[in-house]
Amino acid sequence: MKKKSELLYHGKTKSLYATDEPDYLVAKFNDDITAFNQKKHAIIEGKGSFSNHFNAFIMQKLKEEGVDNHFQSKLSENQSIIKHLKMLPIECIVRNRAAGSFCKRFGIEKGQILDPATFEFCLKDDALSDPMINESILLTLNLATKGQIAAVKKISQRVNNILEPLFDDSQFILVDYKLEFGLFHGAILLGDEFTLDTCRIWDHDTKEIFDKDRFREDLEGGVMPFYHEVARRVGLR
Ligand code: TMP
Ligand code: ASP
């Protein structure tokens, strides 16, 4: 049995702890919620435990559908055992609809269907506001290899093929999402998290927002009732 030991990393919403097995970590989901590269921050009681359960649900679904990832098992309400990856410093963003920075950067109307879905890399660096980066720059700066780039693109697309219908069946639109990857004994594996903090989800008919944009935009009704409704509709609880 893996035993939790020292704190290795304290992120914006998660803390990672070592275990007595070097290949495994404990991820603790905290109640923090942040936006705009931490310019906005709050504590929402129960969000950590919600995100732990939601992430476990999605990662298990992905695993069942053949997308291996770092998730191993839930350890407690707000902690899970994960594989210890060496993370690539990049964010992979897939968009099925225009929203957020896509609308701002390209002058596209919010909600426009993006077919085929777009894929973009961002450099994971809050101080630089996570700038968009391309394959050429990733290669030149030795941030990823050609093989790794091909692998993360392929897996990101497969995740879309699995999750878009999953949310569609629950009367939601999976607008966009962000994935992060790492290396486990040299092989690319999906890591980090898939939660309502790292994607956009709208009601299919009303286009009502059910994701972290509720916090970004200070929408009336708060965040958690909407997060719980997503969980309910996808069959999580
Ligand atoms: P964006 O429209 O702000 O570029 O975000 C696209 C998607 O990626 C959206 O679902 C939010 C998610 N995202 C994160 O999870 N973390 C980040 O640091 C950024 C920039 C986006
Ligand atoms: N993930 C970033 C933050 O938490 C940016 C965002 O989601 O708006 O600050």
- pTM exceeding the 0.85 threshold for the entire prediction: yes
Cα(99) to centroid(ligand 1), Å = 10
Atom number, ligand 1, closest to the C-alpha of residue 197? 15
How would you class 205 by CB atoms within 10 Å of its CB: exposed for 0-12, middle for 13-18, buried for 19 or more?
exposed
With a 6 A CB cut-off, is 37 part of the ligand 2 pocket?
yes
With a 6 A CB cut-off, is 34 part of the ligand 2 pocket?
yes
Determine the Cα–Cα distance for residues 109 and 232; give it in Å rounded to an integer. 30
Q: In this model, does residue 14 exceed pLDDT 80?
A: yes
Eight-class DSSP state of 153? H
pLDDT tens sequence across 167-185: 999 999 999 999 999 999 9
Looking at CATH, the fold of the domain delimited by 88-234 is given as D-amino Acid Aminotransferase; Chain A, domain 1 (3.30.470)
**Residue 149: band (very low, low, confident or very high) from pLDDT cuts 50, 70, 90:** very high
Cα(102) to centroid(ligand 1), Å = 10
For 100, the enclosing helix (H) or strand (E) is: helix 100-106
With a 6 A CB cut-off, is 129 part of the ligand 2 pocket?
no
Is the domain defined by 4-83 classed in CATH 3.30.200.20?
yes
Count CA atoms within 13 Å of residue 59 on its CB side.
26
Q: In this model, does residue 104 exceed pLDDT 80?
A: yes
pLDDT tens sequence across 61-94: 999 999 999 999 999 999 999 999 999 999 999 9
pLDDT value for 2 = 82
List CB contacts of 206: < 8 A, sequence separation 6 or more: none
**Residue 27: band (very low, low, confident or very high) from pLDDT cuts 50, 70, 90:** very high
How many C-beta neighbours within 10 Å does residue 179 have? 22
Domain boundaries, the chain: 4-83, 88-234
How many C-beta neighbours within 10 Å does residue 8 have? 12
Name which residue sits closest to atom 9 of ligand 2, judged by CA.
37
pLDDT tens sequence across 41-56: 999 999 999 999 999 9
